[in-house]
Amino acid sequence: MIRLGYIIISIAFFLIVCGIASGVERFPPPDFVETGYELPSPTTPQPRQNIYEYIDAVVLLAALGLASYLVLKKRSRRAIFVLMVFSLIYFGFWRKGCVCSIGAIQNITLSVFDRDYAVPIVVAVFFLLPLVFTLFFGRTFCAAVCPLGAVQDLVLLRPVAVPNWLESGLRLFAYAYLGTAVLLAATGSAFIICRYDPFISFFRLSGSLNIFILGACFLLVGVFIGRPYCRFVCPYGVILRQLSRLSKWHVAITPDDCIKCRLCEDSCPFGVIKVPTAEWPARDYDKSKKLLALLIILLPILILACAWAVSTAGDLMSRTHATVRLADRINLEESGKVKETTDASSAFWATGRQVKELYSEASNIQAEIKTGSWLLGGFLGLVIALKLIVHSVRRTRIDYEADRAGCLACGRCFEYCPREHVRLKEAKQTVGGSE
């Protein structure tokens, strides 16, 4: 009997020393014979009901439909603005900006690469609906539905033109951001789009100070440079650009015929109105033909060079994965380079898992991210090469028109077009006729 007591005490002592003794009954619960005390049970307040999520999806559908109608049929900047403010309030401040279409890219990616991860229906709807609408109507999502676009659109007071080459160069960041986000989501490392969403702190009116400062910077820049996040950062915008190029219907500056009056030329704060171009002189044509041939030959070299360059950052990127970080730390501790343990490493030691198992898991992830970084680099190389090729080709344009890819369908240019005023019967006489 005494022996048994010793064993129990030593086991209890061992567990206390280990500190892993969660849920061990060291002190048996009393049965309260005297007072008839009844054990309370912990409360479990329930999360927001599913039905509200479906309401969000319906509101998104309605907002997209209405935005497309307002942009293409009604052609009213004021109505688009009102819808935009509504979206900002509903999707931004009421729904706290989460889940959004931009972040949904990561959920979709993860579900492709992780067999066990299934995307909630609402997230899938948020990802797909704007894409489908863009394929039909252009970027009406950006115009009046996206709360991130709306908050930037509101602060745009003194638009400054950005030179074409700078705009195109800065946009490379968005491609790199999209690629990195997909890579890190696919390997289950992190959701960087969510982590660095600059406006989420405004929507929630709480959160990390750094993100709040980042958002404030974007808004400050946004006073002069229209929608900087949308144009140079937004990874969803990169996808929307490509679909918008193909869209079935698209915003037109003029309701019928362009009279080349040049009034709309400076109306776009995002610099996407393309002016008519004359045909090329023969000398320029030959020169650019040679340049094009050179660029096409350079294309594979550029892809390889970028792939190699980005792959050197593969190890750095793999540090975003918690398992890789933990394995590094454990390795340091095991080899005696550091004495003290961190929360993560002591949690690992407490589980009693094999160190080898952790190392192999971490090296698998590292290898995946390394492969991914080659692909990411190749993708960026391709984007750069295609950009160079597109810039060396000039198309003849007859009318003033909005660049299909870049146009955010905000509708600011409508009122600059005299034909629009004719349409609205505000002008009795056609401008073309008075000339």
Binding site for another protein (CB under 8 A): 16, 19, 21-30, 32, 34-35, 37, 39-42, 44-48, 50, 53, 96, 98-99, 103-104, 106-108, 111-112, 118-124, 128, 131-132, 135, 190-191, 194-195, 200, 204, 206-208, 243, 246, 248, 322, 342-344, 346-348, 350-351
Between 40 and 336, name the residue whose CB sits nearer to another protein. Answer: 40
Between 310 and 362, name the residue whose CB sits nearer to another protein. Answer: 362
3-state secondary structure of 277: strand
Two tokens, residue 155: 């602060």
Between 190 and 310, name the residue whose CB sits nearer to another protein. Answer: 190
Between 1 and 51, name the residue whose CB sits nearer to another protein. Answer: 51
Alpha helix locations (H) across 277-321?
282-311, 314-318
Q: How far is the CB of 203 from another protein (least distance, A)?
A: 10
Q: How far is the CB of 358 from another protein (least distance, A)?
A: 12
Residue 402's DSSP bridge partners are 273
Cβ atoms of 178 and 240 closer than 8 Å: no
Q: Which helix (H) or strand (E) holds 124?
A: helix 121-137
Q: How far is the CB of 360 from another protein (least distance, A)?
A: 17
Two tokens, residue 98: 């989460």
Q: How far is the CB of 239 from another protein (least distance, A)?
A: 10
Secondary structure of 162-197 as H, E, C letters:
CCHHHHHHHHHHHHHHHHHHHHHHHCCCCCHHHHCC
Q: Can you tell me the distance from the alpha carbon of 125 to that of 17, in angstroms, rounded to the nearest whole number?
A: 51
Q: Can you tell me the distance from the alpha carbon of 26 to that of 48, in angstroms, rounded to the nearest whole number?
A: 38
Closest to 247 in 3D by CA, of 409, 411, 25, 378: 409
User: Any idea what the Cα angle at residue 253 is, between residues 250 and 258, rounded to 5°?
Assistant: 115
Q: Can you tell me the distance from the alpha carbon of 143 to that of 75, in angstroms, rounded to the nearest whole number?
A: 12
Between 22 and 429, name the residue whose CB sits nearer to another protein. Answer: 22
Q: How far is the CB of 82 from another protein (least distance, A)?
A: 27
Between 100 and 150, name the residue whose CB sits nearer to another protein. Answer: 100
DSSP 4: H
Q: How far is the CB of 20 from another protein (least distance, A)?
A: 8
Q: Can you tell me the distance from the alpha carbon of 9 to that of 359, in angstroms, rounded to the nearest whole number?
A: 36
Q: CA torsion, points 191, 196, 197, 200, in degrees to nearest 10?
A: 110
Between 248 and 425, name the residue whose CB sits nearer to another protein. Answer: 248
Q: How far is the CB of 93 from another protein (least distance, A)?
A: 13
Cβ atoms of 314 and 373 closer than 8 Å: yes
Two tokens, residue 304: 């390889």
Q: How far is the CB of 41 from another protein (least distance, A)?
A: 7
* Residue 245 dihedral angles phi and psi, to the nearest 5°: -55, -35
Give whole-number Cα distances, 357 to 314, 325, 342, 353, 354, in Å.
22, 15, 20, 8, 5
Cβ atoms of 106 and 193 closer than 8 Å: yes
Between 104 and 238, name the residue whose CB sits nearer to another protein. Answer: 104
Q: How far is the CB of 426 from another protein (least distance, A)?
A: 35
Between 48 and 425, name the residue whose CB sits nearer to another protein. Answer: 48
Tell me: cis bond preceding 99? Omega within 30 of 0 counts.
Answer: yes
Q: How far is the CB of 232 from another protein (least distance, A)?
A: 22
Between 112 and 424, name the residue whose CB sits nearer to another protein. Answer: 112
Q: How far is the CB of 115 from another protein (least distance, A)?
A: 9
Q: Can you tell me the distance from the alpha carbon of 34 to that of 64, in angstroms, rounded to the nearest whole number?
A: 66
Between 257 and 343, name the residue whose CB sits nearer to another protein. Answer: 343
